[in-house]
Amino acid sequence: MTTVDRVVCSDETHLAATVAQALVDRLSAPGVHHLVLTGGGVGIRVLIELCLRSQAVDWTRVHVWWSDERFLPAGDPERNETAAREALLDHVPIPPRQVHPMPSDAGQSAEEAAQAYADELARESPDGAAPDFDVLLLGMGPEGHVASVFPHSAGVRSTALVIAVHGCPKPPPTRVTFTLRLICTAEEVWIVAAGAAKAEVATEAQDNATSPNDVPAAGARGREKTIFWLDRVSAGA
């Protein structure tokens, strides 16, 4: 079973900087890297900090993916892609073909968008399923959701890799998301959380005995390692 580690930082600023430096260290290793980004306040702060350290990374060897996306028109400020481009991707020399945003709402259904992304993952995969993700970054909601996999939702139990989400309890209601099945193919899963609202669920999510159906973050595990990156408040320290 994957090891579950915890890193506690003094505050959210230190947390974002620490995670960003760890990403630099990982992306600076030889070879091609596949990094999965997340949105949210802390997730975007990590990307801002990564941008400040971006000269240490050879971006021609990095592919960027997303674990979930709001199904909105391209460029909408609520899309994770839009925020990531503003924070990082528009400022680094990454080849455009190595940036893999989830499809936007451009006339197709969310189900068609999910299938299109699954097809793109397969094209970059050594086994026809998905790339070998080095690090899959995730935020975590106060009820334990990761990506757009919410408690008691299809994303917990689906055997598909990418699915459409309708009636999401957090707006906007329509999204595209990795399932837990796909999340767990990553070599390492990093869950980044801050704030008092995350303290109780962070404790539950680190416990392998917790049901992923109740707390999806408890089922988000990397093949080799899972790291919870927390500030003191969310760690209960």
pLDDT in tens, 58-98: 999 999 999 999 999 999 999 999 999 999 999 999 999 99
Band (pLDDT 50/70/90 cuts) for residue 202 is very high
Q: What average pLDDT does the chain have?
A: 97
What phi, psi does 40 have (nearest 5°)?
85, 165
Cα 178 from chain centroid (whole Å): 9
What phi, psi does 164 have (nearest 5°)?
-85, 145
Region 193-222: mean pLDDT is 97
Q: What is the CATH number of domain 3-235?
A: 3.40.50.1360
Band (pLDDT 50/70/90 cuts) for residue 125 is very high
- Whole-number Å distance between alpha carbons of 74 and 222: 30
Residues 92 and 27 sit within 8 Å (Cβ to Cβ): no
- Whole-number Å distance between alpha carbons of 198 and 229: 12
**Residue 122 clears pLDDT 90, i.e. is over it:** yes
Opening angle at CA 144, ends 146 and 233, nearest 5 = 110
Region 217-232: mean pLDDT is 98
Band (pLDDT 50/70/90 cuts) for residue 1 is low
What is the H or E stretch that residue 118 is in? helix 110-123
The interaxial angle of helices 80-87 and 40-52, nearest 10 deg, is 30
**Residue 19 clears pLDDT 90, i.e. is over it:** yes
For the record, the structure tokens of 39 come out as 């949105």
Q: Return the pLDDT at 2.
A: 79
Strand partners, 34: 63
Q: pLDDT digits over 135-166, tens only?
A: 999 999 999 999 999 999 999 999 999 999 99
In angstroms, the Cα distances linking 22 to 57, 91, 111 are: 12, 19, 35
- Whole-number Å distance between alpha carbons of 105 and 146: 22
Band (pLDDT 50/70/90 cuts) for residue 5 is very high
- Whole-number Å distance between alpha carbons of 223 and 133: 10
Helix, strand or coil, per DSSP, at residue 97: helix
User: Residue 79's closest CA among 10, 172, 16?
Assistant: 172
Region 227-235: mean pLDDT is 97
What count of other Cβ atoms lies within 10 Å of the Cβ of residue 49? 22
